[in-house]
Structure 1
Amino acid sequence: MDANDELRQISQVQDRLIGLYSHKRPEDVALAVKTAHQHFEGIRVRDFVPLLVERRANKALGGSDVMVDPAEVPPAHGE
């Protein structure tokens, strides 16, 4: 996975979590995603980083590290 693809996937993670946590400020969700992503800096194998970021951010926002079915998540703004 190249860096651009990873950043695109992280952006999608952020959009999904903003939809899932519509009761929280989008800035707070973005911060949770950014913090989770920073946790994995320096890791050489990057293939699973977006998934791990989503789980870590979800847990930080009050969810669990077991993700919901994406079909149950409301669409993000602009979709």
Structure 2
Amino acid sequence: MSTITIRLNNDEQKAFNEYAKLYNVPLSTLFKKSLEEKIEDEMDMKFIEEYEADVQNGAIELYEHNKVREMLGL
């Protein structure tokens, strides 16, 4: 396991510690969880942008609900 040092000013330290106390988690857990969520959000946005580009380029075919029912014989 490695150790990383993060420098915080007094206001940041107070705010982050209070937030960690609010959720009853160690500060290190709060930082790790926050970073994981940020990475996940950015990856989600990348996939959404790629999907929207594929739709725009016609690489993905979209169907209306009624068309899908018709295709399935429902």
Q: TM-score, normalised by structure 2?
A: 0.31
Pick the structure with greater CA Rg: 2
Structure with the bigger RCO (C-alpha within 8 Å, sep 6+) is 1
**Structure ranking higher in helix proportion:** 2
How does the TM-score come out when normalised to structure 1? 0.29
